[in-house]
Amino acid sequence: MNYILVAYVEDKPGVLNRVASLFRRRGYNIESLTVGHTEMPGVSRMTIVVNTDEFTVELLEANLYKLVNVLRVDNVTNKPSVVRDLALIKVAVTPANRTEVLQMAEVFRARVVDVTNESLVIEITGTEDKIEGLLDVLRPFGIIEMVRTGIVAMTRGPAPISPNPPLVEAEAHFNVHSEY
């Protein structure tokens, strides 16, 4: 199944390469990986979606912690979270079917961000399912081009993803793990 991991990493050259290299070397299959800045200067946040099993995802977390530049890893798969993906979809339209496409977009709460005589660019944010749903209904009109950001995730509620400072989290994680 798909697991969602959130990793805080030091914002240094080559860190993305180290993470990607780990996935490649150990044979993990990345579904999506996004990186961006966080509220903390010098710290980036990665959201990694990986298709694997329960044991392997544990090993993957342990291996991520072994990377010196990785500060904290959280498996948010089973935590109440907001999970979002953003897509830009360029659809072919004619004067005859333009209104129909616009209505579809509205049903999915998507926004039209560019219009020409032959095309529309639709922006949609949501879960993967929702985006897949919109793509399904747009496909008959002709999708000219599509781009997606990959998943970003955040746990619900007031607390940050983990209340512990970096590494205390790692320690807690592995102790719990030790007890099963």
Partner 1 sequence: MKLTGAQIFWECLVRQGVKHVFGIPGGATLPIYDALPEFPIHHVLARQEQGAAHMANGYARVTGGVGVAIATSGPGATNLVTGIATAMMDSVPIVCFTGQVSSPLLGTDAFQEVDVTGITLPITKHNYLVTRPEDIAPAIREAFYLANSGRPGPVLVDITKDAQQKTCEFDWEGSEPHVAGYLPNYQPAESVYEQAVSMINAAKRPIILAGQGITLSGASKEVIELAEKAHVPMAMTLLGIGSIPASHPLNLGMMGMHGEAWVNKAIQESDLLLAFGMRFDDRVTGTVSTYAPNAKKIHIDIDPSEINKIVHVDISIISDLRPAVAKLNRGVQKSDHQEWIDFIEEMRAESKSRDILNIPDNDQLFVAHVIHDIWKYTEGNVVVVSDVGQHQMWEAQYYKHEHFRSLITSGGLGTMGFSTPTAIGAKIAQPEKEIWTIVGDGSFQMTLNELATIAQEKVKIVIAIMDNGYLGMVRQWQEMFYDKKYSATPLSSPDFVKLAEAYGLHGIHVNKRSEIQKAVEEARKAPGTVILDFHVVGEDSVYPMVPAGKPLDDMIQRPKNGN
Task: Please give the residue ranges that form the binding site for partner 1 (CB under 8 A).
Answer: 9-10, 13-14, 17-18, 21, 25, 55, 58-59, 62-63, 65-71, 166-167, 170-171, 174-175, 177-179
The nearest distance, CB 51 to partner 1, in angstroms, is 19
Q: What is the distance between the alpha carbons of residues 180 and 178, in angstroms, rounded to a whole number?
A: 6
Burial (CB count within 10 angstroms: exposed 0-12, middle 13-18, buried 19+), residue 110: buried
Say which amino acid occupies 162.
Answer: S
User: Minimal distance in Å, beta carbon 27 to partner 1?
Assistant: 13
Nearer to partner 1, 66 or 156 (CB): 66
Is the CB of residue 16 less than 8 Å from the CB of residue 35? yes
Rounded to whole angstroms, the Cα distance separating 102 from 31 reads 30
Q: Decide whether 78 or 178 has the Cβ nearer to partner 1.
A: 178
| Nearest distance from C-beta of residue 170 to partner 1, angstroms | 6
From residue 34, alpha-carbon distances to 70, 86, 129, 149 in Å are 15, 12, 18, 7
Q: Of 38 and 174, which CB lies nearer to partner 1 in the complex structure?
A: 174
Cβ distance to partner 1 smaller for residue 127 or 174: 174
